[in-house]
Chain A
């Protein structure tokens, strides 16, 4: 499966090291499910898996948010409108937005983890009447490092979505919560018996979040996390991204805690 050359339409700088690319999709009827990713190829440098952060109801745009953390992402975030990059995908499993309809939904994320969850949030908001309470809990490093800050502000203004944001380190003007994202869970309104949770962020953050949600009584089959492992092929052949008995690129990245069972708590898996 070869990367398809795609033209970059626009580049938006979200944070100091984080950029959102609007890319012309490989095909006209290109579509994806919330939570899926593509392999993006910076020609001559390399290929990396990047979650799709766009609207799943808009197949005309492939939107991906990238943080520069190494040579390939440095190259991908240095592109300009009109440049061409390679795209393979979409790959992987998705947030089960349909399966959890009818109950409360907690969306818990930290840092750049908001990007892979943005399509799920947009999907849920587009079908808002199918869910009871929907709550977004977001943790960031500091007030200046809130991803999609304008959109967060817009979501906070909605009456059908509770948005709580906390930062690890406040500043002189920040009047919101300071502390870890798990501290927001007790402030959310949800019925554990009918609640599903989507969790995405650094693995340590996800571990503590899932522990707290389990303590609150949410069962493992309704707890979903987006896992991250070193990926190469993206189609479940090479084995680089093996996580327990799953390949994260194929059966993941979205896995339920029931699927992951002990693997999530086992070191070096």
Chain B
């Protein structure tokens, strides 16, 4: 099996998937490294596929006129980065900057989608997992929006 397979086979995201399915996914992945301060992608550019962060810290930022970049979320070892590759118009919605040297697996989004078309069972397994991740992120952002630590007056 490949290096990428070995890196993802025990990852919680893939728990419950067959080894054959994980092998197909791993064949679309490449191990990449980023140094502190590097930009992984910027808002509006082509969203080519998700990244699974193996180590290091990545900040999702939004550029706001007059205020510069605002960090809205940080992601860390074990987190998936990016879902804009799943849905049209396939463009990143935020900037992703490396806060500390990071290693990740960059998956080929079109390759994952093609494999899912060929094997709908694989596609369903992947969609379940990415949807759960989306729901969890949305829940978190809703709690942030509630501003629960503000002073109740």
Contacts and interface: CB of A to CB of B under 8 A. Distances in A.
Real complex partners, A and B?
Answer: yes
Interface of A: 17, 67-70, 110-112, 139-141, 145, 166, 168-170, 172, 174-180, 182-183, 186-187, 201-202, 204-205, 208
28 contacts: A67-B151, A69-B151, A69-B152, A69-B153, A111-B149, A141-B149, A168-B149, A169-B70, A169-B144, A170-B70, A170-B71, A170-B74, A174-B71, A177-B57, A177-B74, A177-B76, A178-B71, A179-B144, A180-B143, A180-B144, A182-B143, A187-B76, A187-B77, A201-B149, A204-B143, A204-B148, A205-B148, A208-B139
Contact of A141 (B99, B140, B150): B150
Contacts of B76: 177, 187
B73 interface: yes
A205 B143 contact: yes
Contact of A172 (B57, B68, B144, B148): B68
Contacts of A204: 143, 146, 148
A141 B59 CA distance: 17
Given A182-B140, A208-B139, A141 B147 contact: yes
Interface string B53-80: 0000101000000001011111011100
Assign chain B's interface to a size class.
20 to 34
Nearest to B69: A172
Contacts of A170: 59, 70-71, 74
A186 B153 CA distance: 33
B140 A180 contact: yes
B70 A175 contact: no
A112 B152 CA distance: 12
B53 to A, nearest CB: 12
Contact of B148 (A69, A110, A174, A177): A110
A183 to B, nearest CB: 6
A108 to B, nearest CB: 14
Contacts of B148: 110-111, 201-202, 204-205
Contacts of A111: 148-149
Contact of A168 (B77, B147, B152): B147
A178 B74 contact: yes
Contacts of A182: 140, 143
Contacts of B74: 166, 170, 176-179
A178 B72 contact: yes
Centre residue among B70, B143, B146, B153 by max chain A CB count within 10 A: B143
A178 B99 CA distance: 12
